[in-house]
């Protein structure tokens, strides 16, 4: 019974540690300009994906981090649009104020301050009034201002965003195979652990029923050895099952994101942006 309790505790600890949500934290700006620009592109793309899914608070975190790495009009435009589209303005205002406090010398602080002032005044309609949607047919329904696409920063022409959710079929297939193998292997080790746990309990009972000290010593050593193998097997089994489950869940998520991305015909880049930092 004690061994079973130990194994269950280890399972809860391992699954809890692997499943705990990670709080987003923007890293420091790299000293090398090229590295900073590359990071800006990656955070911009992450913010774009979250904004398109309506996760505006998380999107704002990524956009502000991209802005911190490298100021660009497209980034500032999207920050304003996310602030405008978000239903809950309080966390958005907190993020903007925190950016201004932590980066007082940043080139975008004046524009951030103007955005904060408009939000605090409740003047959301005047946010980026000159940035409107491209011309559309009068019969088409009105659309909100689009999210700008990845900025083309001349300082680093090789700038590329993080891999899109649309993973190649081979990668998704490998994730599925490795996930299934990990779960199967984990299940096998768990079964071995159960077998050794049963053997350990049997050896302990035989030791208690032994009439000679030599027999008691033999069964006691057998009990301890089986218990140790049982615990190790359970740990390896839980790790395998957890890893396989995570791989399959990531694969499912990427497939869903791929389908969602395919449904997006295109993302328009607003024209005539004149945001002065």
Return the CATH number at 73: 1.25.40
Please tell me the predicted confidence (pLDDT) of residue 5. Answer: 53
Please tell me the predicted confidence (pLDDT) of residue 214. Answer: 82
Would you say residue 124 has pLDDT above 90? Answer: no
Are 223 and 172 in contact, with CB atoms under 8 Å apart?
A: no
Lowest mean pLDDT among 225-229, 231-235, 253-257: 253-257
d(CA 227, CA 199): 8
Give yes or no: residues 108 and 204 share one domain: no
Map residue 221 onto helix, strand or coil.
Answer: helix
> Which of 87-121 are b and which e, b meaning 16 or more Cβ less than 10 Å from the residue's Cβ?
eebeebbebbeebbeebeebebbebbeebbebbee
Give yes or no: residues 151 and 230 share one domain: no
Give yes or no: residues 35 and 81 share one domain: yes
Under DSSP, the state recorded for 149 is -
Residue 179 lies in a domain: yes
Residue 10 lies in a domain: no
d(CA 197, CA 14): 20
Place of tokens 């159960």: 194
* Burial class of 166 by CB neighbour count within 10 A (0 to 12, 13 to 18, 19+): middle
Please tell me the predicted confidence (pLDDT) of residue 230. Answer: 87
Residue 139 lies in a domain: no
* Burial class of 23 by CB neighbour count within 10 A (0 to 12, 13 to 18, 19+): exposed
Give yes or no: residues 33 and 128 share one domain: yes
Indicate the pTM of the whole model. Answer: 0.47
Would you say residue 259 has pLDDT above 60? Answer: no
Please tell me the predicted confidence (pLDDT) of residue 150. Answer: 62
Lowest mean pLDDT among 12-21, 50-59, 69-78, 231-240: 12-21
Residue 140 lies in a domain: no
d(CA 223, CA 142): 74
Share of the chain above pLDDT 70, in %: 69
Higher pLDDT, 18 or 198: 198
Nearest to 48 by CA among 273, 267, 253: 267
Under DSSP, the state recorded for 22 is P
Give yes or no: residues 182 and 197 share one domain: yes
How confident is the model over 104-132, as a mean pLDDT?
A: 83
Give yes or no: residues 117 and 177 share one domain: no
Give yes or no: residues 66 and 175 share one domain: no
Residue 5 lies in a domain: no
Please tell me the predicted confidence (pLDDT) of residue 166. Answer: 43
Give yes or no: residues 155 and 55 share one domain: yes
Domain housing 110: 23-133+145-162
Instruction: Look at the chain and report how many structural domains it folds into.
Output: 2
């Amino acid at each position: 019974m004690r061994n079973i309790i130990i194994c269950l505790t280890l399972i809860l600890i391992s699954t809890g540690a692997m499943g705990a949500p990670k709080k987003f934290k923007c890293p420091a700006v790299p000293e090398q300009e090229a590295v900073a620009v590359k990071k800006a592109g990656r955070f911009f793309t992450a913010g774009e994906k979250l904004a398109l899914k309506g996760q505006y608070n998380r999107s704002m975190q990524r956009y502000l981090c991209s802005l911190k790495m490298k100021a660009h009009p497209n980034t500032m435009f999207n920050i304003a649009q996310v602030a405008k589209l978000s239903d809950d303005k309080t966390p958005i205002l907190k993020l903007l104020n925190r950016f201004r406090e932590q980066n007082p010398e940043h080139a975008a602080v004046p524009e951030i301050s103007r955005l904060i002032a408009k939000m605090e005044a409740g003047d959301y309609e005047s946010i980026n009034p000159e940035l409107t949607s491209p011309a559309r047919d009068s019969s088409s329904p009105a659309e909100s201002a689009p999210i700008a696409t990845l900025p083309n920063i001349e300082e680093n022409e090789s700038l590329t965003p993080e891999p899109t959710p649309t993973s190649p079929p081979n990668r998704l297939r490998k994730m599925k195979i490795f996930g299934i193998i990990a779960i199967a292997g984990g299940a096998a080790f768990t079964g071995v652990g159960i077998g050794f746990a049963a053997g350990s309990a049997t050896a302990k009972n035989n030791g208690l029923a032994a009439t000679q000290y030599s027999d008691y010593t033999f069964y006691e050593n057998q009990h301890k050895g089986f218990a140790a193998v049982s615990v190790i097997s359970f740990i390896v089994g839980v790790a395998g099952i957890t890893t396989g489950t995570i791989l399959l869940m990531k694969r499912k998520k990427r497939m869903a994101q791929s389908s969602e991305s395919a449904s997006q015909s295109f993302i328009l880049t607003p024209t005539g942006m004149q945001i002065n930092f």
